[in-house]
Structures are given as structure tokens and as C-alpha cells.
Amino acid sequence: MTTPALTALIDFSQPQGGAGQRLRCAFGAPLRVLQADAPAQVKPLLEQVQAEAQAGRWCLGYVAYEAAPAFDAALRVHAATGPLAWFAVFDRALDWPLDCELPPGTADTAQRAQEPQPPAKARWGAGPERVAFTRDIEAIQSAIAAGDCYQINHTAQLTGELLQGSALALYAALRRAQPGGYSAWLDACERQLLSVSPELFFDWDGKRLLVRPMKGTAVRGATPEQDQSHADALLASAKERAENVMIVDLIRNDLSRVALPHSVKVPRLFHLEALPTVWQMTSDVTADSRPGTTLADVFTALFPCGSITGAPKVQAMRLIHELEPVPRGAYCGAIGVVQPGGHATFNVAIRTVTAQGQALSCGIGSGITSGATAEGEWQEWRHKRAFLDRASEPFELLETLALADGVLRNESEHLARLQRAANHFGYALDQMALRASLDQLVASHPQGLWRVRLLLDAQGRVQAQAFAMEASPAEVTLALADQPFEAAQSEFVRYKTTRRAHYEAAAAAQPGLFDAILWNGQGELTECTRGNIALQIDGEWLTPALSCGLLDGVGREIELREGRVREAVLRVEDLQRATGLAFLNSLRGWIPARLA
């Protein structure tokens, strides 16, 4: 028995259900496809979608950002390069596939296991030029100062190329990079949409409407303490709260067009949601819809969502049209499902990739208010694109241990760190398989000194390898890197993985050098490319704080626990006043060092 070719996948949180409830379904060949290519066709299409759902069928699809004039002729957009709206109609939902990295039409699970498909690999461009980005922020600030608007959601398009694997495999990688939320995959004829949006546009059961705008962003911290500090700062930020409440007010006004009198409420304001790379602030706005309200009426009142336009909406979209040179397409539109009976749930199509053959595109944006700075928005833009960077190339979690005469050194600490990384990246870790793999390796290497390379891949497969290891040198020579380490705050620094190109690029290349000492953009020392460092200053051994952007090495952890070193923020200039220098990791232990 074979699985039908897939046209759509939906994995949506159920916002009006219990905690943790999700709608997770697959869909095969559609009964029919509904498509609107002109503004006059959009509302009739939505009416047909509602009729299909009320007749007991499933409808999945999207409404593009450029469909906005279909609901209000005053909303300015670029000419669309694809359908304004597209929906597939299905008579039934299928079970979620066990492995959605598989191409459509593959056979059952047993056969799939024998025919593994290549994971996705993508290459993305650098994005907007910094000078042009700053110029756009300044133009928006001028418009705000002139009273034209008080918030603009400014976006820029990233383009890329799918180098390996299918769009469906890339979607699977994106789901691991950005789990939860309102995720969908649509095979919409000429284009495929890969959405892992964390933002709910609206949920409507025919009576109660819930809108949950997402406004306000902070980067995740390198340590639990720093992470909580960033969350607290976001919650207390007057700028971020103002950005959120402006959109809440806009949506309250939008909802009033279809709401029963006095039913518009804000039951939850300034709620923080933890995503893998950023904290986001959301608020809930609810209303009871008037009798006779249709799906087309709801879109007319709300579309596009104010969180991706700004406010007031008409003026904001006019400025967006002037500043952004290309149409947004499905990005910043809405992707969703209308279930049999008519219950409709749509996301705001952010964190959404469009694939056309091997060509990829993805928009990234943020809300600009009077308190925004070009530097701050540039950094937010970089943090928001991190989910693409995580999904763009397969990687394994990595631990490197010493095996000495049949004993794994610091085994419990390494396995605990591997579990933390698995939790962060959403990798399944089978403890029994891990134990069996290590036991087999130890049994086959009962004597001698070995470097053990322990790997865990995205599918939960464990691999342990042993390589002969020479004794550690009595002393090593380290050199200060000649430029700041741009990746210092990356999750691929905070967690040890096989994605190490950023370290390889910074490694010491001169003969006789053991490693390079890295430092971040604030002039703070971080680590070496293969281990941590310690400096002796005023008779005390100090090691850079995790908040500076470095790996929490097992050797470092043990030295801290035993009191030999203390954490501190160390700067580049501290190297000159240090009376001692050491390289340390679990594999080689503590090695005295000198500065080249």
C-alpha cells in the first residue's frame, strides 16, 4: 500500500483549545483547486471556500499580501507575480507522515527506511545592504516625525537556492528550527510554501474571533540568567510595549467592523513567547462576530494583519509600497485551514519560504517606531533570520571525549551537555541506543588513549567513533585573532555541533600556533576554536563569562565547579596584564599557554 502524493501539511496550534492541542494533518490529491488572479475574484473565492467547508470538506490555502485591495481599494501594493489567493479542497484528512522529509508518493514506512532521502541543503544570500537598510529606517523615522504614521513594518527579501534535497525536506528542517506555532506546507502548483510562522492571524469558530498580534522582539540569552534578563527587559521596554499596543489598538478597531457591540476585548496583553532564537511579545484581542458574518467579511475587516503593515494601515502600506521594491507575495499574507463545518484558522505568513523549483525566497521584517534605531533593527533582522541559517544545512550534535584505558573521561558531564543540545535543537536522544553505542566502543578499545567522537543526527541516530590520540603537549602557543568573531552569540557557538565553518575560518594558520584566541565585537575575550581559556590576573585564574558568547566546555565546567577558576568578563587588553594563560578542554585537560 502506498501513501498518496501530498499536496498539503498542516501543523497548527489550537489557540482556543487546551494547552498543547494541535491540528496536525496531511492531505493528498485535492478534489479541486480554487484560485483568484484578480482582486474581483478574491471575495467570491473565500465565499466558495466557506461553502465547501460547510458542506463537510477541508480547505487549505493562502491569501497573498497583494490581495489587500480586494478588501479595501485604498490599500496600495505592488502588482502580484502569482495568485492573489489559492485554496485546495479535500474530502478527507490523512494521518501526519512519520517522516515528512520523504518526497510525495513514497511507499509505506518499511520501504522508506530502506530508501533514505537526502536532507535539505540551501544557500542564502546576504540580504539587504546595510547602507540601504539604514536609509530606509531614516525615511520611516522622517515619516513618523511628520505625523504620516506611527509605526511601519519594514521588510526585506532574502533569496536563496535549494542545493540538495526537496522542498519538503527543507520544510522538515525549518520545522525543527522553528517548532510549534502555525506551520504549513502547500504544494500550490508553480510554487511551494514552507511556513513555520509563530504568529496567529485569526481563529474563528463561526462565533468567537481571536487575533493574536506579535510585536516586540529580544534575542535569546547565552545563559539561563541572561535569557531571563533579556525577557525581563523586553517586558519592561517602553518602546517594545508601545510597538505592541499600537497594533493592538489597530486590530481592536478592525475587529469592531464584524463584532457585536461592546464585545471587543483584550484579555491578555504583553505575553512573552520563547522561540529558539528570539523572545516575542504577543497580545490577545477577541470579539464575538455578528450573526451572518462570513469568512470574506472577516478578511475584509482584518486583512492584512496590522502587525505586518503598521499603523494607520492605509498610510503604512503606502510607505511600504514606496520603500520595498518587490511584492511580498504569500509572505505577510495569511496561510490557513478551514475545517469541515467552517472553523477557520490562519497564520500571519512570516517565517515563510517560497520555493519555485530550486529558487527560494523569504522575507524578514520588523516594526519601526519613533524609538527604533537603525543598528537595533539591523541586529533584530539578523536574529530573526537565524531560523533559516539553522535549517539551511544538516548538522549533527557533537561531543568529543577522551577514552583512557577503557574509561570515558568526564562521561556524565558530556552526556548531560549532549542532552541540553538535543533539547535546544529538538533532536530525539534515545538513551538506550546511546548507552549501547558507547558500551560497544569502550569494549573494543580497552587499552590506550583515544579521542572519541560522539554524534547525534536530526533523526536521533547515534554514532560513536574512536581515533588514536597523542599525549597533550606540555605548553602551547596561542595567538589573538586579528578580527572580532562575528558568530560569538550564535547558537552554533553556545552548542557544540558539526557546523564549524565559523571556527575553521578563525583558526590560527601560522606554523607553531596551537589555536587562536577569539573575541567578540565588544572587545571581550570568548574562547579558542577548540577549547576554552583562562587568564591569571592579580593572582586569580579567570575564564570568560558565557554571556560573552562561547561554548560551555566540560573542562571549563569542572574547573569552575572545583573552584580553580572564576567567571569574569575579560577584555582583549587584559591579555597584556595577565601573569598566566591556559588552554583547557575535557579532551586534553589544563595546558599552560603563552601568547604569541
What CATH number is given to the structural domain containing 244?
3.60.120.10
Cross-strand bridge partners of residue 157 = 363
Q: Does 387 share its domain with 402?
A: no
pLDDT band at 144 (very low <50, low <70, confident <90, very high): very high
Residue 367 lies in a domain: yes
- Model confidence pLDDT, tens digit, residues 9-25: 999 998 876 666 899 99
Give the phi and the psi of residue 186 in degrees, each rounded to 5.
Answer: -125, 130
Instruction: Single out the residue in 391, 425, 460 at which a domain terminates.
Output: 391
- Model confidence pLDDT, tens digit, residues 313-356: 999 999 999 999 999 999 999 999 999 999 999 999 999 999 99
Total domains present in the chain: 3
Closest CA to 120 of 395, 393, 356: 393
Residue 516 lies in a domain: yes
Residue 547 lies in a domain: yes
Closest CA to 463 of 418, 416, 406: 418
Residue 3 lies in a domain: no
What are the grid coordinates assigned to 245, written together? Answer: 499596543
Q: What kind and span of H or E run contains 447? A: none
Residue 72 lies in a domain: yes
Q: Is 313 a catalytic residue?
A: no
Which listed residue (66, 101, 199, 524) is catalytic? 199
Q: Does 406 share its domain with 280?
A: no
Residue 2 lies in a domain: no
Q: Does 418 share its domain with 520?
A: no
pTM over 0.95: no
What are the grid coordinates assigned to 395, written together? Answer: 548538522
Instruction: Single out the residue in 436, 468, 500 at which a domain terminates.
Output: 468
Q: Is the pLDDT of residue 109 over 50?
A: no
Residue 517 lies in a domain: yes
**Residue ranges in 115-195 assigned as alpha helix (H):** 130-145, 167-177
> How far apart (Å, rounded) are the C-alpha atoms in residues 398 and 113?
24
Q: Does 250 share its domain with 358?
A: yes
pLDDT value of residue 205: 94
Q: Does 451 share its domain with 563?
A: no
Q: Does 37 share its domain with 110?
A: yes
Which listed residue (215, 313, 384, 496) is catalytic? 215
pLDDT value of residue 110: 34
Read off the CATH number of the domain in which 557 is found. 3.20.10.10
- Domain of 456, in residue numbers: 397-468
- Model confidence pLDDT, tens digit, residues 83-96: 999 999 999 999 98
- Number of Cβ atoms within 10 Å of the Cβ of 591: 19
- Write the DSSP symbol of residue 400: E
Where is mean pLDDT largest: 103-107, 236-240, 345-349, 485-489? 345-349
Read off the CATH number of the domain in which 459 is found. 3.30.470.10
Cross-strand bridge partners of residue 209 = 204, 287
Q: Is the pLDDT of residue 113 over 80?
A: no
Q: Is 265 a catalytic residue?
A: no
Residue 178 lies in a domain: yes
Counting residues of the chain whose pLDDT is more than 70, the rounded percentage is 95
Q: Does 443 share its domain with 555?
A: no
> How far apart (Å, rounded) are the C-alpha atoms in residues 67 and 305?
12
**Once rounded to an integer, what is the mean pLDDT over residues 407-424?**
95
Cross-strand bridge partners of residue 543 = 567
Instruction: Single out the residue in 440, 468, 496 at which a domain terminates.
Output: 468
pLDDT value of residue 111: 36
**Once rounded to an integer, what is the mean pLDDT over residues 115-133?**
85
- Model confidence pLDDT, tens digit, residues 573-593: 999 999 999 999 999 999 999
Q: Does 128 share its domain with 46?
A: yes
Q: Does 513 share its domain with 386?
A: no
**Once rounded to an integer, what is the mean pLDDT over residues 542-548?**
95
Q: Does 221 share its domain with 275?
A: yes
**Once rounded to an integer, what is the mean pLDDT over residues 465-478?**
95
Q: Does 461 share its domain with 511?
A: no
- Model confidence pLDDT, tens digit, residues 430-462: 999 999 999 999 999 999 999 999 999 988 999
Q: Does 260 share its domain with 367?
A: yes
